[in-house]
């Protein structure tokens, strides 16, 4: 926490306490509520795999047949909860809220640190809270219900968010400090490897890193890209080997099943626009999971209008500060490149909001800067009005 000013630390400590209390309290709900809120069908599939791993049955959902239809790193993160719970399955489910809450708390701190790298402000620079993008991004991570719902859904999303932010932070610090030592490259490769194990589509971000390096530094970056890529491959290699040896394919069986036959394009597009409109607002989501077409159009138009206003404020802030959100651009493009795969090829339209999480993480930095600019403009307007009086 030494990278923050004293004022930023105070707000971040309070917001961390909010996350700790509100997220951990979810573990004390009734069994029926656990079955109908936040967690999805796939959540319990992953939990079953974690439970059987804890019982010594290997990676299996039923203790008999092996599986690879999971994101492996999150399953292993849940194993201690079910090892402690043993036969009490609901206790195991409740205990998983400990790592889920921890992922959320760490993500808040990492997001605030990434924002400081983007802003490139001195450690002593301490704007008022409402005009500070660092405090805004921390507040979003603590108070946004849509973000909380994604990170506490009993799936890999919270772990994936934390590791993506950790990877971005390490990489941006390398760029800002112009420090590309072998130690830094090795650590970046380890982070990318863990990110891939948390969700396989992180390979898009590894490709974005390589492209960004080649554009920035040309041929001098080739060796660096190779080192980072090889280390990421070595870290994730056990998963690829397990897939090939046990199932004869690099891709998990769930991913293969999702791409069989033609995808329901109409439903995919409908749920994509709903999830994307929710994502853009940051704090709001449409209460119905399957709204009518007219309602969906109105929600998309309203959220797009709101976002357009916020982008205008963001551009004003960018012109007047050392803001460098362009650092995010390669990773934004990688997140967008995933979308055609999920929308055009995959069958699980109900999971599209989850597939959009990488873009949500990156978009929230723009949103945090825009909200800080709104507060800054409002303060100036108040001063002018007070002067007129």
Q: Is the pLDDT of residue 2 over 50?
A: yes
Among left, alpha and beta (phi > 0; psi -120 to 50; other), residue 46 is alpha
Instruction: Count the neighbouring beta carbons within 10 Å of the beta carbon of residue 218.
Output: 9
For residue 164, pLDDT beyond 50: yes
Question: Distance between CA atoms of 234 and 244, rounded to whole angstroms?
Answer: 15
With beta carbons less than 8 A apart as the criterion, state whether 47 and 60 touch: no
Confidence (pLDDT) at 314: 62
pLDDT of residue 381: 45
Q: Which two tokens stand for residue 30?
A: 């009734």
pLDDT bin (cut points 50, 70, 90) of residue 253 is: confident
Q: Which pLDDT score, from 0 to 100, does residue 363 have?
A: 86
pLDDT recorded at residue 319? 58
**Local confidence band at 172 (pLDDT 50, 70, 90 cut-offs):** very high
Mean residue pLDDT of the chain comes to: 85
Q: How does pLDDT run across 112-152, given as a tens digit for each residue?
A: 999 998 887 666 567 788 888 899 999 999 999 889 989 99
Torsion of CA 310, 353, 358, 44, to 10 degrees: 140
How far is residue 110's CA from residue 12's CA, in Å, rounded to a whole number? Answer: 11
Read off the pLDDT of each residue in 146-159 and give the average, rounded to a whole number: 92
> How does residue 80 score in pLDDT terms, banded at 50, 70 and 90?
very high
Query: CA–CA separation, 68 vs 369, rounded Å?
Result: 40
Residue 50 structure tokens: 């974690």
Task: pLDDT band for 265, please (50, 70, 90 cuts).
Answer: confident
Smallest CA-to-CA distance from 213 within 190, 231, 229, 194 is with 229
- Tell me the mean pLDDT in the region 242-247: 91
Among the listed residues 136, 108, 145, 160, the one whose alpha carbon sits nearest the alpha carbon of residue 367? 136
Average pLDDT over residues 75-103: 94
CA quadruple 149, 150, 156, 161: dihedral positive or negative? negative
Those residues whose C-beta lies under 8 Å from the C-beta of residue 256, and which sit 6 or more positions away, are 249
pLDDT greater than 60 at residue 386: no
What are the tokens at 346?
């995959």
Strand partners, 66: 60
Residue 176: exposure state from Cβ atoms within 10 A (0-12, 13-18, ≥19)? middle
- Name residues whose C-beta falls within 8 Å of residue 62's C-beta, 6 or more positions apart in sequence: 48, 52
Percentage of the chain beyond pLDDT 70 is: 86
Q: Does pLDDT of 159 surpass 50? A: yes
Tell me, what DSSP letter sits at residue 61? S
CA distances from 289 to 62, 274, 285, 349, 353 (A): 30, 8, 9, 11, 10
Above 70 in pLDDT, residue 73? yes
Contact 96, 23 (CB under 8 A): no
Output 104 or 366, whichever has higher pLDDT: 104
Query: What pLDDT was estimated at residue 335?
Result: 86
Q: Of residues 231 and 274, which shows the higher confidence score?
A: 231
- pLDDT score, position 151: 92
Residue 249, both tokens: 């394919």
**pLDDT computed for residue 197 by the predictor:** 95
Contact residues for 249 (Cβ-Cβ < 8 A; gap 6+): 243, 256
Q: How many CA atoms lie within 13 A of 179 on its CB side?
A: 12
Residue 195, judged by CB atoms within 10 A of its CB (0-12, 13-18, 19+), counts as buried
pTM recorded for the entire structure: 0.89
The residue that leads in pLDDT, 22 or 305, is 22
Question: What contacts 224, CB < 8 A, 6 or more positions away?
Answer: 180, 185, 213, 217
Q: What kind and span of H or E run contains 103?
A: helix 97-119
Mean pLDDT to the nearest integer, 202-230: 92
Residue 385 in this model has a pLDDT that exceeds 60: no
Task: Identify the bridge partners of residue 95 per DSSP, sorted by sequence position.
Answer: none
Tens digit of each residue's pLDDT (9 = 90 or more) over 306-337: 777 766 666 665 555 556 667 888 888 888 88
Angle between helices 182-198 and 222-247 (to 10 degrees): 30
Averaged pLDDT, 361-388: 69
Residue 135's pLDDT is 94
Residue 66: phi and psi, rounded to 5, are -70, 155
Residue 180, pLDDT above cutoff 80: yes
């Amino acid at each position: 926490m030494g990278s923050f000013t004293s004022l930023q630390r105070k707000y971040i400590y309070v917001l961390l306490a909010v996350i700790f209390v509100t997220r951990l309290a979810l573990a004390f709900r009734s069994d029926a509520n656990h079955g109908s809120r936040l967690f999805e069908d796939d959540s319990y599939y992953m939990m079953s795999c974690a439970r059987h791993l804890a019982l010594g049955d290997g990676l299996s959902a039923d203790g008999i047949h092996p599986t690879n239809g999971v994101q492996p790193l999150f399953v292993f993160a849940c194993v201690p909860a079910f090892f402690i719970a043993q036969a009490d399955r609901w206790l195991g489910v409740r205990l998983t809220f400990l790592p889920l809450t921890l992922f959320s708390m760490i993500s808040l701190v990492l997001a605030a640190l990434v924002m400081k790298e983007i802003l490139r402000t001195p450690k002593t620079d301490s704007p008022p809270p409402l005009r500070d993008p660092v405090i805004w991004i921390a507040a979003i991570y603590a108070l946004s219900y849509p973000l909380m719902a994604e990170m506490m859904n009993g799936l890999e999303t919270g772990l994936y968010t934390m590791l993506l932010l950790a990877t971005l932070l390490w990489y941006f610090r390398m760029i800002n400090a112009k420090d590309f030592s072998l130690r830094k490259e090795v650590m970046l490769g380890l982070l990318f490897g863990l990110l891939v194990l948390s969700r396989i589509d992180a390979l898009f971000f590894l490709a974005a890193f390589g492209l960004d390096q080649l554009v920035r530094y040309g041929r001098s970056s080739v060796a660096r890209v190779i080192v980072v890529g090889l280390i990421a491959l070595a870290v994730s290699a056990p998963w690829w080997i397990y897939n090939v040896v046990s199932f004869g394919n690099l891709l998990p069986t769930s991913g293969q099943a999702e791409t069989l036959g033609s995808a329901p394009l109409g439903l995919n597009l409908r749920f994509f626009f709903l999830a994307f409109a929710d994502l853009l607002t940051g704090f709001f989501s449409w209460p119905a999971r399957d709204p009518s077409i007219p309602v969906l159009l109105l929600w998309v138009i309203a959220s797009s209008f709101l976002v357009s206003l916020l982008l205008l404020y963001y551009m004003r802030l960018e012109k007047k500060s050392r803001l460098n959100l362009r650092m995010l651009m390669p990773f934004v493009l990688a997140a967008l490149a995933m979308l055609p795969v999920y929308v055009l090829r995959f069958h699980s339209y109900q999971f599209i909001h989850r597939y959009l999480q990488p873009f949500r993480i990156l978009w929230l930095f723009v949103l945090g800067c825009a909200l800080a600019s709104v507060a800054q403009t409002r303060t100036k307007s108040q001063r002018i009005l007070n002067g007129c009086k």
